[in-house]
Structures are given as C-alpha cells and as structure tokens.
C-alpha cells in the first residue's frame, strides 16, 4: 500500500499500485514491459531452516557423572558432539542452518557495526535485527550416560601386560519442534555404545590415557546419528532415479551412507487426521520395497533393489539398522525401472504464470505515448498525539521529495498559498509579529476542503498521507544458555495514503505502510536515536515509490476531466429588517405608504472555499458541485453556507448586524412600528427618517425593491430621494 535507513529492523515493502488497494509484500517490485521476454527462471525449492540448541545432559545425569568422576568426560562428549553436529547436518545439504549456539559472537559483531566504528554502507557489514528465523528447532538431551572401565593382566611371551577396556554407553532423545506452532514434530531415541582398548606391554612406561579416544568416537558417532535422524525426519532420502533395479538416491557418503546398508522404501499415502482432535498427523507411509547400498558417492549414492512393490522416483528411503527382516531373501534382486516420464522438463507455464506477450518490433508499441506530468496536491494528516505537530511538516517534506518524479509534479499548499512566514519561523522570511498572515492561512484551512483547494491549485490528483498510529514495544532477553543479554526498544509507525481524483473526490488508490525501527542495547553497547525521524523517512520513501509506480501504471485512471465552470449569483439582504415606504402626495405632504422595503447591504466580500472571489451582489464562476461559501462585511455578522453550484443558480444570503448595530436598529424599529399606514408625518418624524437614511447611505445599504410592483405608485418615495 513500504520506510529506510539500513538500521530499520523489519521492512514490509510494497508492490506497485494498479487500480485499487496496494498490497504489501517482502520486496519492492516494479513491473517492466519489454519487447522480448525470456523464459521464466527455474525455481529452486527453499530448504527448511533449522536451529540446533546446545547438547546437554539432564541434571540427574550430570549429577551422577560428577559422583562417578566422569563429569569431565561427559562434558567433552557434549561439547565435541555440539561442534560436529553442525558439520554433519551441513553435509546432508538438506537444510539451511541458523546460528544459535554461536549467537553471542554474532551479536557482538552486530554491536560493533552499530557502534559507529564500522562502515554501515559496506554491503558485508553485520546487520542488527536481520537474523534468519528457523522453522524447526532441534534439541538433543542426554538421558543416560554410563562409563565402564575393565582392567586385567594378560600373560604373554614378554611377561604380564596390563590391559584396559573403556566402554561408554549413551542414550539420548532428539526432539524436533515446529517453531511456528510450538508443537512437537518428532521425537527420536538415539542409543550408542563405543569401546576402546589399551594394552601396556611389560617394561613400557605410558603417559596419557589411550582409551580417551573413545570420547571423540562417541562425540562423532552421536553427531552423525543425530544428523541422520534429523534429515530422515524432516527431509528423508528420496529416489531420484530407478533403472533396471538400480536406485539412485540423494544421499552421499559424507552424510553417513556406506555400502551394505539396508534401506526400506516408502511412498507417501493419504493424509492422516486424528478423528478426535482434527490434528493433521502427516501422510501415511506405504512400504514398497527394500534396497541395499552398493556405492556411496560424493553427491549421491546407489543401491540395489531387493524387493520392488512399486518403487518410483520421489519414493522415500529410511535406514534399517536391524538389517533385512527374516522373511526377505537377501540375495534377491529386483529389475524394475521408474514409471515416471523422463527427459527434459516441461516448458509449459504453470496455471498461475502470466501469459507471455508476443514479441513485437513496432517502436510505437514498445514505447508508451508521451503524456503531460500529473499535477498532484499533497495534504498530510496527523492522528496520534504522541507524534509532535512539527513532525507533520517534516513528513510532508519527505513525502513530497520521494513522490516527485518524471511523471509527477507536486504542488504544495505551503509553497503556493501559505504566507512565507509560515515556512521560515526564523531568518529573512520570518516576517513580523503580526498575526494577519497566519490568520488568513488558518481561515483557508477552516473554510475549504482538500478537493476544492486542489482545484484552486490546478491539481489533477490529491495525495493524502496520514500518520495513523505509533506504538512502542520493549523486550528483554536474558539467556544464560547462550550468554545473550539484550534490551530491544522497538517502534512501529503505521501510515496510510490515498490518491484522490481532483475533480470528483473519488478514491483512485490507497495503501497502508508499516514501518518498524528497533535499537538494541547490550552490556557493551548503548544506542540513542530519534526513532520518529527514522520511521517517517522510511514511510515517506515507500509511499513515494508507490505513488510513482501508480502514476507510471497507465491502467490507472488518474483524474477525470474537469467540468466547465457555472455562474452563480449571490445577493445579500439584512435578515428580518425592513422599513416602511414614505411618499409625497399631491399636497406635498409625506405620507406613510403600504409597502415595506428590505435592506440590501452592498460590497459584501464573497469567499468560496477560503478564497476571496469578489463582492456581492454579483455572479461568480464556480466548478459544479459542493462548495463552502462565506460572506463578510464590517458591521455585519459573517455568514457561512454550503452551496451546490449549478448554472443559473441565484442565492439570497441573509445577514445580520453585529450586536452594536442590532441595538441601534432596534431603537429605529420602535419608531417605524409606530408609524401608521396613511398617516401624514410630522416634522420631527421626518427628521428621524432623514437620520435613518443618512445611516443607511453611510453604511452602503440600499433598498431592495424587488417586492414592490410599482415604485411610482402614489408619488415619489422619500427613501428614493434621500438614498440617491
């Protein structure tokens, strides 16, 4: 819908926008259309990630070994097997191994990069918060350990020799967990027994214990057996070729395969689901044969099929340490071949693959037609109070910079409309202490919508960016088993954005960007940083990229053609105020008439969407649709209303005096109410009428005679004489 300095922890980048909501993905990708398209690359299956915890004995086994005085030997086996296990698993080439036992060393290297002493732009520099996750976690626990030493004296031709036999019996349990669910994937027992013999000839003085070699043998065998058990559990050996009874499978001598080993062959069957819990228990494994290894190679191995009940490519092989069952003839040889189609891989696209466009050599078809840049007005909103208001302007600056491109021209209200002193609070553009310019800017904000202001700014499209939410999380890790002690402070900023049609106000595209930043403190490293600035920079970068991608996508309808302006006429009247007509009769007397005149103030300032358009009465060109209109005049209360502009619309706007003017008029209203229709006015009353006329003339208020049919009926009006 991304967001990034290199210190940003997790980056949820985004794909380019098309017509509507933009989806977030792991990598920013922009679709490129070319005349010639190469075949889709062959995808390599992703290896499962595996984390291995340090090998450890149970507390009871450790305590017993200490009592027996064999605790040092047990520790050597644990540490030796720990080191060799990673190498043994790597030799299977089945997994991507992530570091856990060596985590302190990796953390220290990452801390060194964050300290500022390492070039963070170096592509090979360590990155904090970029450790790979592991789908599976393997733990090996030694549940039983016994060390037996047997000594005897041997009589031979040279005399009596001293002989010693040292045997180590070990039992352990391998547990593999699915870290995504925390459930136990598989548990496998591991049992081994290794011996070493040392004979000291008569007259020979020996220093050291030769039988200590058994410790290395046990550690190596333990690592090998565990690695094979993990591989068989998560990625069992599979048949990659089967011809005339010869099986080729994807295991090597380095992963523990040796000539003469017996393997049982299975094919996957139906999925197994627990009827009580509904839990998926994996797939059924159906036995289809037996095989004996004939050659263990460097990259793959071969075996002879002994029994074939449907061996085929993709079938699984599991080592059978007990050998063949008694009912299987060890000398039998199967001669079958794979039923799978051989030859080159199919070149047909998958059902989900996009169709390949035919190549073209027409330059006009390859190059898009030139078009004028999109003029885009930008408005930024702030939701969380935890983000300082001054950061909103910073965010607008960043989004503007990142959104501007060959096809986008950003129009900013701050640069086009606002007073200069709103841009520079200090320096030559700071202006004076007068608040007039700021008041005008605020009136514009209060009285116009983004769409109408964009129209006045001649923008085709509106870009709205909103700081929606800011969250902070603190985490502490104290892991004595790995020696890892860290305090992680993480901030998550959620921003949204939208592209709006500058004419209709309809949404064209929108998206959400989540930016994350984290800093890590360790006993050796303390980091201080303004996380908000980093997050805003990251969010603006990703929003800008998405905006440019949307504009570049010719399928997106960016703006509707604006409709022609219509003329709207505004007139103002004083609400609920009128004066009686006074006319001269044939005898020259002033007589109160039957008509009442409304009062029409002149030179009323008309503002539409916060912009001054002129003075009422008058007609003004407006874009069809809703507008916010405001009417102002000294001595009168301002009036606001929503106007739905259409051609030929005429609006009479009722205005009222300010409290002071209203009090003065009420005194005059008492005088007018006392005048009787047809009464001849006295000199004192005429003086009062002339005073009112003088007030109206100075106030630039004229009579509204639209409700009078014949102004000359019954003689000339005194108001007409006095107000001319």
pLDDT over 80 (residue 589) = no
Q: Is 154 helix (H, G, I), strand (E, B) or coil?
A: strand
Q: 547: pLDDT confidence band, cut at 50, 70 and 90?
A: confident
Q: Cα torsion at 536, 537, 543, 546 (round to 10°)?
A: -160
Mean pLDDT of the region 478-495: 84
- For the stretch 618-631, pLDDT in tens is 999 988 877 888 99
Q: Say if residues 720 and 623 touch (Cβ distance below 8 Å).
A: no
| Neighbouring residues of 613: CB distance < 8 A, sequence distance ≥ 6 | 606, 607, 620
Identity of the highest mean pLDDT range in 585-589, 595-599, 669-673: 595-599
* 594 vs 568: which has the higher pLDDT: 568
* Average pLDDT of the residues in 518-540: 87
Asked if residues 492 and 470 have their Cβ atoms less than 8 Å apart, the reply is: yes
| Higher local confidence (pLDDT), 270 or 509 | 509
Q: For residues 349 and 355, what is the distance between their CA atoms, to the nearest angstrom?
A: 8
DSSP state of 190: E
Provide the pLDDT for residue 558. Answer: 57
Q: What is the pLDDT of residue 76?
A: 92
Q: How far is 567 from 246, CA to CA, in rounded Å?
A: 91
Q: How far is CA 623 from the centre of its chain?
A: 38
Beta bridge partners of 286: 267
Q: Above pLDDT 70, what percent of the chain?
A: 71
Contact 710, 595 (CB under 8 A): no
31 vs 226, more confident: 226
Averaged pLDDT for residues 173-192: 88
Distance in angstroms between the alpha carbons of the first and the last residue of the chain:
66
Q: What is the CB neighbour count within 10 angstroms for residue 239?
A: 26
**Average pLDDT of the segment spanning 161-165:** 80
Lowest pLDDT segment from 23-27, 181-185, 688-692, 695-699: 23-27
What tokens were used for 716?
Answer: 């000339």
Residue 351 in this model has a pLDDT that exceeds 70: no
Q: Where are the alpha helices (DSSP H) in 21-117?
A: 59-68, 71-92, 103-114
Helices 531-552 and 390-403 meet at what angle, rounded to 10? 30
Question: Does the structure show a pLDDT above 90 at 141?
Answer: yes
pLDDT higher than threshold 90 for residue 586: no
CA-to-CA distance for 141 and 448, rounded, in angstroms?
A: 71
Residue 344 has pLDDT above 60, yes or no: no
For the chain, the average pLDDT equals: 75
Distance CA 205, CA 484 (A): 47
Tell me how far CA of residue 431 lies from CA of 398, 426, 435, 436, in angstroms.
Answer: 25, 8, 10, 11
Q: Is the pLDDT of residue 29 over 50?
A: no
pLDDT (0 to 100) of residue 2: 37
- For 56, 57, 445, 551, the CA distances from 142, given in Å and listed in that order, are 6, 4, 72, 62
Q: Residue 233 and residue 563: Cα distance in Å, rounded?
A: 69
Report the alpha-carbon distance of residue 492 to residue 474 in Å, rounded. 11
Strongest mean pLDDT among 353-357, 614-618, 623-627, 698-702: 614-618
Confidence check: pLDDT of 12 > 60: no
Q: How confident is the model at residue 487 (pLDDT cuts 50, 70, 90)?
A: confident
If one compares 240 and 696, the residue with the highest pLDDT of the two is 240
pLDDT score for 400: 87
- What is the mean predicted confidence (pLDDT) over 69-75? 91
The closest alpha carbon to 465, from 552, 406, 553, 546, belongs to: 546
- 227-277: per-residue pLDDT in tens? 888 888 888 899 999 999 999 998 888 878 899 999 999 988 777 777 777
Closest CA to 7 of 543, 537, 465: 537
Element (H, E) at 145: strand 136-156
Arithmetic mean of pLDDT, 617-645: 87
Domains of the chain: 8-31+372-552 (3.30.160.150), 49-147+171-191+210-231 (no CATH), 245-319 (2.40.10), 566-723 (2.60.40.1120)
Q: CA triplet 257, 263, 266: central angle to 5 degrees?
A: 130
CA distance 237 to 240: 9
Evaluate whether 361 touches 34 at the Cβ level (below 8 Å). no
Provide CB contacts within 8 A for 612, sequence distance 6+. Answer: 605, 606
Cα angle 45, 50, 52 (rounded to 5 degrees) comes to: 165
The predicted pLDDT at position 420 comes to 40
Residues 6+ apart with CB under 8 A from 198: 163, 164, 165, 166, 209, 210, 211
Q: What gap in Å lies between CA 192 and CA 196, rounded to an integer?
A: 14
The more confident residue out of 481 and 133 is 133
How far is residue 340's CA from residue 312's CA, in Å, rounded to a whole number?
7
Q: What is d(CA 651, CA 648) in angstroms, rounded to the nearest whole number?
A: 10
Per-residue model confidence as pLDDT tens digits over 360-410: 444 333 334 446 777 888 888 888 888 888 888 889 889 988 888 777 878
Parallel, antiparallel, or unpaired for β 618-622 and 246-249? Answer: unpaired
What pTM was computed for the model? 0.49
pLDDT at 167: 92
DSSP state of 558: -
Instruction: Compute φ and ψ for 58, nearest 5 degrees.
Output: -65, 155
Neighbours of 203 (CB within 10 A): 8
Mean pLDDT of 170-194: 89
- Output the pLDDT for position 541: 93
Alpha-carbon separation of residue 606 from 571, 611, 612, 620, 640 (angstroms): 10, 8, 6, 9, 10
pLDDT above 50 (res 109): yes
Contacts 24+ apart (CB under 8 A), 674-677: 675/580, 675/592, 676/592, 677/580, 677/592, 677/593, 677/594
Cβ contact 104:56 at 8 Å:
no
CA nearest to 379, candidates 405, 413, 407? 413
Q: Picking from 40-44, 88-92, 395-399, 716-720, which range would have the lowest pLDDT averaged per residue?
A: 40-44
For residue range 425-441, what is the model confidence (pLDDT) as tens digits? 444 444 444 444 444 44
Angle at 488 between CA 482 and CA 493, to 5 degrees: 145
Of 257, 207, 218, the residue nearest 92 (C-alpha): 257
CB of 266 within 8 A of CB of 316? yes
Cα-Cα-Cα-Cα dihedral sign, residues 87, 92, 96, 97: negative
DSSP bridge partners of 188: 174
Mean pLDDT value across residues 645-651 = 87
Give the residue, 202 or 57, on which the prediction is more confident: 57
Residues 166-179: what's their mean pLDDT? Answer: 92
Structure tokens at 156: 């031979």
Can you tell me the mean pLDDT for 66-83?
A: 91
- CB count in 10 Å sphere of residue 32: 5
Do residues 252 and 297 lie in contact, with contact meaning Cβ atoms separated by under 8 Å? Answer: yes
Please report the pLDDT score of residue 439 as a whole number: 47
Handedness of CA 256, 258, 263, 269 (dihedral sign): positive
Determine the pLDDT at residue 260: 95
Going by DSSP bridges, is the β-strand pair 408-412/374-382 parallel, antiparallel, or unpaired? parallel
The mean pLDDT of 585-601, rounded to a whole number, is 72
Say whether 691 sits in a helix, a strand or coil. helix
Confidence of residue 39 (pLDDT cuts 50, 70, 90): very low
Distance of CA 465 to the CA centre of its chain: 15
What is d(CA 653, CA 664) in angstroms, rounded to the nearest whole number?
Answer: 22
pLDDT at position 10, please?
33
Q: Which residue has the higher pLDDT, 582 or 300?
A: 300
Identify the band that residue 478 occupies on the pLDDT scale cut at 50, 70 and 90.
confident
Cis amide linkage into residue 572, ω under 30° from 0: no
């Amino acid at each position: 819908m991304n967001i990034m300095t290199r210190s940003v922890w997790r980056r949820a980048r985004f794909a380019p926008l098309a017509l509507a909501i933009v989806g977030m993905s792991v990598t920013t990708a922009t679709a490129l259309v070319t005349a010639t398209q190469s075949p889709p690359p062959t995808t390599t299956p992703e290896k499962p990630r595996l984390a291995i915890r340090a090998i450890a004995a149970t507390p009871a086994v450790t305590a017993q070994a200490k009592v027996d005085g064999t605790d040092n030997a047990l520790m050597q086996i644990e540490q030796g097997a720990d080191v060799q296990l990673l190498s043994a698993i790597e030799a299977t080439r089945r997994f991507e191994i992530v570091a856990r036992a060596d985590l302190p060393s990796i953390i220290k290297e990452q801390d060194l990069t964050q300290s500022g002493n390492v070039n963070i732009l170096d592509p090979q520099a360590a990155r904090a918060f970029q450790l790979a996750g592991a789908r599976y976690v393997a733990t090996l626990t030694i549940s039983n350990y016994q060390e037996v030493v047997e000594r005897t004296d041997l009589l031979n031709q040279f005399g009596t020799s001293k002989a010693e036999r040292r045997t180590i019996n070990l039992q352990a349990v391998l547990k593999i967990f699915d870290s995504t669910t925390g459930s136990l994937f598989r548990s496998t027992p591991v049992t081994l027994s290794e011996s070493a013999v040392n004979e000291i000839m008569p007259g020979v003085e020996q220093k050291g214990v030769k039988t200590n070699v058994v410790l290395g043998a046990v550690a190596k065998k333990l690592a090998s057996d565990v690695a094979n058990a993990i591989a068989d559990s998560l990625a069992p050996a599979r048949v990659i070729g089967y011809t005339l009874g010869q099986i080729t499978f994807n295991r090597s001598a380095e992963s523990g395969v040796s000539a003469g080993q017996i393997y049982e062959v299975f094919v996957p069957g139906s999925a197994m689901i627990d009827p009580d819990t509904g839990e998926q228990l994996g797939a059924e494994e159906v036995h289809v044969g037996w095989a004996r290894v004939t050659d263990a190679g460097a990259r793959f191995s071969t075996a002879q099929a002994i029994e074939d009940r449907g061996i085929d490519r993709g079938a699984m092989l599991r080592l059978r340490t007990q050998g063949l069952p008694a009912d299987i003839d060890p000398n039998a040889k199967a001669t079958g071949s794979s039923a799978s189609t051989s030859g080159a891989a199919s070149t047909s696209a998958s059902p989900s693959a996009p169709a390949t466009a035919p190549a073209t050599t027409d330059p006009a078809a390859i190059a898009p037609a030139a078009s004028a840049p999109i003029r885009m007005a930008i408005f930024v909103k702030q939701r969380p109070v935890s983000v300082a208001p001054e950061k909103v302007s910073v965010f607008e600056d960043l989004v503007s910079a990142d959104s501007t491109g060959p096809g986008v021209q950003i129009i900013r209200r701050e640069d086009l409309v606002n007073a200069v002193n709103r841009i520079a609070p200090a320096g030559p553009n700071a202006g004076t202490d007068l608040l007039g310019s700021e008041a005008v800017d605020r009136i514009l904000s209060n009285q116009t919508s983004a769409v109408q202001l964009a129209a006045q700014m001649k923008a085709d499209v509106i870009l709205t960016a909103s700081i929606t939410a800011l969250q902070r999380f603190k985490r502490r890790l104290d892991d004595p088993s790995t020696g890892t002690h860290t305090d992680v402070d993480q901030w998550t900023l959620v921003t949204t954005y939208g592209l709006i049609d500058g004419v209709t106000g309809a949404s064209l595209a929108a998206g959400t960007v989540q930016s994350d930043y984290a800093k890590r403190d360790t006993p050796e490293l303390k980091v201080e940083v303004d996380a908000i600035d980093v997050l805003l920079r990251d969010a603006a970068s990703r929003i800008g990229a998405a905006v440019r991608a949307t504009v570049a996508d010719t399928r997106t309808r960016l703006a509707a053609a604006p409709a022609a302006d219509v003329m709207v006429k505004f007139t103002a009247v004083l609400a609920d105020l009128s004066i009686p007509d006074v006319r001269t009769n044939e005898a020259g007397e002033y007589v109160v008439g039957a008509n009442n005149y409304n009062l029409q103030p002149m030179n009323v300032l008309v503002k539409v969407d916060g912009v001054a358009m002129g003075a009422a009465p008058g007609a003004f060109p407006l874009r069809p649709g809703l507008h916010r209109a405001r009417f102002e005049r000294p001595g009168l209360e301002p009036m606001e209303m929503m106007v739905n502009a259409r051609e030929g619309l005429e609006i009479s706007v009722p205005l009222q005096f300010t409290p002071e003017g209203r009090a003065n008029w009420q005194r005059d209203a008492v005088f007018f109410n006392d005048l009787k229709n047809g009464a001849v006015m006295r000199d004192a009353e005429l003086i009062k009428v002339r005073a009112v006329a003088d007030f109206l003339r100075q106030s630039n208020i004229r009579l509204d005679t639209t409700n009078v049919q014949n102004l000359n009926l019954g003689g000339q009006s005194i108001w007409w004489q006095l107000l001319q």
